[in-house]
Structure 1
């Protein structure tokens, strides 16, 4: 009986730490997945010598309005350069819905488009840069897109 009581106390003490550990791993996985998709899009734009775009997508074939990245995203060849997946444009990669415990949003980044030179540009041709925030229950990360097209990740406070 004493051993059972000690085991119960240990479980109660360890549960919050385990929950934080799992939440941190989910945040790290979502961050790495999105960074990987952005890097893949950039390399494909250079390799194919054409515009490649990453955008939030719930149905895995068209871009969603807004910047709700946690529902999933697609990487596609953007032949017409409008930042939207249109008929005849090849979807290169699909990433599904992320954990409900993580909110993913950006400051005006409803999509990220890379030109043949690997630089991030809006459909208008202007430089594209900004941040995408990934907010977990205890921690948060920020993916920063520079005008050169490179991405980096850093610890951050949630701002959406």
Structure 2
């Protein structure tokens, strides 16, 4: 049986494409790991910043999910973006004249944000440094940020206690 050269080339190309797409190159995995690290550090630093701003301003400051970068969203994951604002009237929502301090746009679709913190729609820091997790059903909330391409070892888990303590850990079972 004779195989036509064009068919052989196409067969080899198809096999190579299937193999290449099944195992991402190390550079792609490294890029995804860097995205996970950047997203987790961005969220952690904005939490710490909001906490410090509340104490500095002697006024409540809120970090909440936001789709439009101007108002709080009642649903969705933190991957859609968030805002930090001074909550002068203390209602947990950004009203027209309240100062927008930080705006973070949506993250890459390749990142997954999972955990009990997705149920939290807003995190409010009081002037004295206390924290309230709007929508939380527990004393602490966790947020796991990961990417399938980066592998579970590159996941990051943030844990925020109701007293304001923040813990950031590498690697998480929530990424598998």
TM-score normalized with structure 2 length: 0.74
> Structure 2, unaligned stretches of length 5 or more?
1-19
Cα contact 1:120–1:129 (8 A) shared by 2 = no
Matches within 5 A, 1:67-78: 67-78=76-87
Which residue of structure 2 lines up, in the alignment, with residue 35 of structure 1?
A: 44
Whole-Å Cα distance in 1 between the matches of residues 99 and 174 of structure 2? 34
CA distance in structure 1 between the aligned counterparts of 2:132 and 2:24, rounded to whole angstroms: 46
CA contact (8 A) 2:143 2:159 kept: yes
The alignment status of 1:91 with 2:73, answered yes or no, reads no
How far does residue 85 in structure 1 lie from its aligned partner after superposition? 1.2
In structure 1, C-alpha distance between the alignment counterparts of 2:110 and 2:37, rounded to whole Å = 12
Shift of 1:106: 4.0
**Structure 1's 149 and 103: CA in aligned 2 closer, same or farther, altered over 3 A?**
same
Moved more, 101-110 or 72-81: 101-110
Closer, same or farther in 2 for the Cα pair 1:83/1:71, shift >3 Å?
same
Residue matched to 1:66: 75
Q: Which residue of 1 aligns with 2:142?
A: 131
Partner SS, residue 121 of structure 1: strand
1:78-132 CA distances to partner (integer Å, 9 max, x unpaired)? 12222221121111011111111112244122211111111212569xx963112
For residue 158 of structure 2, what is the aligned residue in structure 1?
A: 143
TM-score, normalized by length of structure 1?
Answer: 0.81
Greater displacement, 32-41 / 106-115: 106-115
Closer, same or farther: CA 132–150 of 1 in aligned 2, 3 Å: same
Q: Counterparts of 1:72 and 1:122 in 2: how far apart (Å)? A: 17
Deviation of residue 73 (structure 1)? 0.5
RMSD in angstroms over aligned alpha carbons?
2.4
- The more displaced of 73-82 and 23-32 is 73-82
Q: Structure 1 105/82 Cα, relative in aligned 2: closer, same or farther at 3 Å?
A: farther
- C-alpha distance in 1 between matches for 2:139 and 2:75: 16
Max Rg structure: 2
